[in-house]
A and B are shown apart, each in its own frame.
Chain A
Amino acid sequence: MSEPIKIDIWSDIACPWCYIGKRHLESGIASLGDDAPEVDITYHSFELAPDTPVDFEGSEIDFLAKHKGMPAERVQQMLEHVTGVAATAGLDYDFDALQHTKTLKAHELLHFAKEQGLQLELTERLLRAYFTEGRHVGRVDELVELGAEIGLDADAAREALESGRYAAAVQADIAQAQAYGINGVPFFVIEGKYGISGAQPAEVFAQALTQIAGEREGAVA
């Protein structure tokens, strides 16, 4: 039995294409059926907009139109586009309900969850909460509640967030991305050897994993 193929993913909870890319990766793996290699996925922090306030009052359109000065009509068109692509990936984005916020604490909780062996579960839970349920993923109380839903101990999660114990781990991930020259997300690093940028189609992930698994077999033959 060979070791799982390692996939490191730089991603932000507030990144619509990261959730779509996650689904495409999962679909790509699933499409390989019995031939799918075993994978070991680790998510890494990437804060797209560190200057975002935790408690921004307004919609996503308000944020981009008023806070960032983009034309509201163009923002609306862009959100409709990403909502449509998300739908093809089986994701029901709701930008009217979305609560724009700073994601630093969410990343800290993801590092805590990683230590508990629940990082993948929390990543999915936070992305779903942010993009489809209109939940606020910047506040400690809501993060603790979401973490508890996937099996994290609520008191321990709260202590992890209030102490800021994982802030350095978040910054280390961001520094690693910078060292790699990663400017945008999602970004996938497979086996530490191959980089894949963006929300690629499922077949790209399937082909890459098949190729890498084949290279491994060739190396041991």
Chain B
Amino acid sequence: MSEVDTATTDAAAPAPFAMITGDPSAMVCEGDVCFIPPAG
């Protein structure tokens, strides 16, 4: 687990649900990296 400030992953595919944005600085983890997801 580690953290970086920005994500470099591709944008997510369309999901069958509406996203509730909430706090845009909420942390998520992908692989060994945890980060604040990019806006949009």
Q: Is the interface of B mostly helix, strand, loop or mixed?
A: loop
Residues of B contacting A126 in the complex (Cβ-Cβ under 8 angstroms) = none
Contact B12 A17 (CB under 8 A): no
| Number of residues of chain B lying within 8 A (CB) of chain A | 26
Interface membership of chain B positions 1-34, coded 1 if the CB is closer than 8 angstroms to chain A and 0 otherwise: 1110001011011111111101100111111101
A108 located at the interface, meaning its Cβ lies under 8 Å from any Cβ of chain B in the complex: no
Contact A184 B15 (CB under 8 A): no
**Could you say which of A32-40, A146-154, A193-201 contacts chain B?**
A193-201
Count, A-B residue pairs, CB within 8 A: 110
Contact A183 B9 (CB under 8 A): yes
Interface membership of chain A positions 17-41, coded 1 if the CB is closer than 8 angstroms to chain B and 0 otherwise: 1101100000000000000000000
Residue positions of B touching A, CB distance < 8 A: 1-3, 7, 9-10, 12-20, 22-23, 26-32, 34, 37
Known: A21-B26, A186-B28. 15 other contacts (CB 8 A): A15-B34, A16-B34, A68-B2, A75-B2, A78-B34, A181-B15, A183-B10, A184-B9, A192-B16, A193-B18, A195-B20, A196-B19, A198-B28, A204-B22, A204-B23
Residue positions of A touching B, CB distance < 8 A: 12, 14-18, 20-21, 48-49, 60, 63-64, 68, 70, 74-75, 78-79, 81-82, 179-187, 189, 192-201, 204, 208
